[in-house]
Structure 1
């Protein structure tokens, strides 16, 4: 039975400021991308998030971003290859330490926000980030929004690093397969989200707003935890996957899963 992973970006609160509903979302997902203190989170939030994930059997990956708490890591910065290498390694290492304290290991790395945007296109920074990922994990895995033909995932594949593509049913797709990002999270139409998931499970494609089918090389479903009805959407997507005859669970970091 094919395994379908459901992941979400978590641990993005900071001190007394709260982002998302992690407590309700964690039991519904199989893999978490945990903020590591640069774009969001703090040491206490990281520990609490990891402990909740362990309690519910959720695999944990690092969600490194640019050092931009005020802008939530969504503002582009001019960084060097040395910066890219150190930023990824530092944040993954911090989370790795927290995971080790509860007997878990780092499952994957997934760049956040503007760091993702930079590493999608910058051919100079991608090798540095890929090297950091290779150094941070014994069996390195990168999560990346599908389609995965971009600078960092291509560099990772050249180094033998596994790349896991993601489908985003709570966002819309442009005809070239790129995501149409939202400035602020909107209420997600549950029926549309589940229909997109079922379309991908059946055909390997998603549909653009005008109905154009787009091939998506994905293995994991990513749902944003900060949406106003994120828990409802996640529960519905999970039911859709199970009703389609698939197993919901974290991906084996050493095994390539194909449709």
Structure 2
């Protein structure tokens, strides 16, 4: 399955090409207003996903419109839970008004990365997700026993994802964006990484190690023009119609 961050336009600022991308993906991670999006964009993106039979996921973040949700914030766990319930609840409202439903939650940006390394943040995210009785999407290869136990405590299933267009480190984390070559930008590199994941269940990390990955879904970023330009080829690899 292929997932993509969607609905990240805001007011008169248009980001990405959701209409062109949606037919190729299986899961749409829809921004909830705190890093991008607005009520009109949320509603329009849900309609687009519904028309293309694409599963709808909430893509909440820290309250950081100016930084596009990519700046870590020191916020108490209880506040994080409430911030997420607020955002996810808004998206659920639009889902209900369009006769569809929320299928999962995937945090955005810095919040996503913080939950991978901080169990208090992870529990705050799990707590919010449990309110809506849906799975949480998290990073494949980062399934620590402590976090698995937290998910079990709240009875929240986990969906594991890998990234088509981001480089990894040997510890299983995504390489920070400020690190050289952290974002894959050539067709060859992106298709090769997807093929390695699909065919061999592993990839070569930025620091030279082999990392095993068994994802349920693969993510591409809507702000990576190379990924979007070859989305049809990525989809073919996932359906075993093309080898690299």
Q: TM-score normalised to the size of structure 1?
A: 0.85
Pair 1:148 & 2:142 matched: yes
2:63 alignment partner, one of 64, 67, 89: 67
1:90 alignment partner, one of 86, 89, 101: 86
- What residue is the counterpart of 1:255 in the other structure? none
In terms of mean alpha carbon deviation, does 17-26 or 193-202 score higher?
193-202
Which consecutive unaligned segments of at least 5 residues does structure 2 have? none
Q: CA deviation at 1:200?
A: 1.5
Q: CA deviation at 1:161?
A: 1.5
Query: Distance between the aligned counterparts of 1:9 and 1:236, measured in 2?
Result: 18
Against the structure 1 CA distance between its residues 27 and 37, is the aligned structure 2 distance closer, same or farther, given a 3 Å change threshold?
A: same
Q: CA deviation at 1:230?
A: 3.0
1:220 alignment partner, one of 212, 217, 221: 217
Q: CA deviation at 1:111?
A: 0.8
2:227 alignment partner, one of 225, 230, 251: 230
Q: Is the contact made by 2:190 and 2:227 (CA closer than 8 Å) also made in structure 1?
A: no
- What residue is the counterpart of 1:118 in the other structure? 114
Against the structure 1 CA distance between its residues 243 and 217, is the aligned structure 2 distance closer, same or farther, given a 3 Å change threshold?
A: closer
Query: Distance between the aligned counterparts of 1:15 and 1:173, measured in 2?
Result: 34
1:165 alignment partner, one of 138, 160, 163: 160
Choose between structure 1 and 2 for higher RCO, CA contacts under 8 A separated by at least 6 residues: 1
1:205 alignment partner, one of 181, 202, 205: 202
Task: Tell me the C-alpha RMSD between the 2 structures.
Answer: 2.1
Query: Distance between the aligned counterparts of 2:169 and 2:118, measured in 1?
Result: 21
Query: Distance between the aligned counterparts of 2:230 and 2:183, measured in 1?
Result: 12
1:54 alignment partner, one of 50, 57, 60: 50
Q: Is the contact made by 2:202 and 2:210 (CA closer than 8 Å) also made in structure 1?
A: yes
- What residue is the counterpart of 1:29 in the other structure? 25
Q: CA deviation at 1:21?
A: 1.5
Q: TM-score normalised to the size of structure 2?
A: 0.90
Query: Distance between the aligned counterparts of 1:153 and 1:235, measured in 2?
Result: 34
Which consecutive unaligned segments of at least 5 residues does structure 1 have? 246-259
Q: CA deviation at 1:115?
A: 1.1
Query: Distance between the aligned counterparts of 1:71 and 1:164, measured in 2?
Result: 27
Deviation string 1:140-174 (CA, Å, 9 cap, x unpaired) is 20111222325656522343311111111211111
Q: CA deviation at 1:212?
A: 2.8
Against the structure 1 CA distance between its residues 106 and 153, is the aligned structure 2 distance closer, same or farther, given a 3 Å change threshold?
A: farther
Against the structure 1 CA distance between its residues 187 and 117, is the aligned structure 2 distance closer, same or farther, given a 3 Å change threshold?
A: closer
Against the structure 1 CA distance between its residues 26 and 154, is the aligned structure 2 distance closer, same or farther, given a 3 Å change threshold?
A: farther
Query: Distance between the aligned counterparts of 1:94 and 1:183, measured in 2?
Result: 32
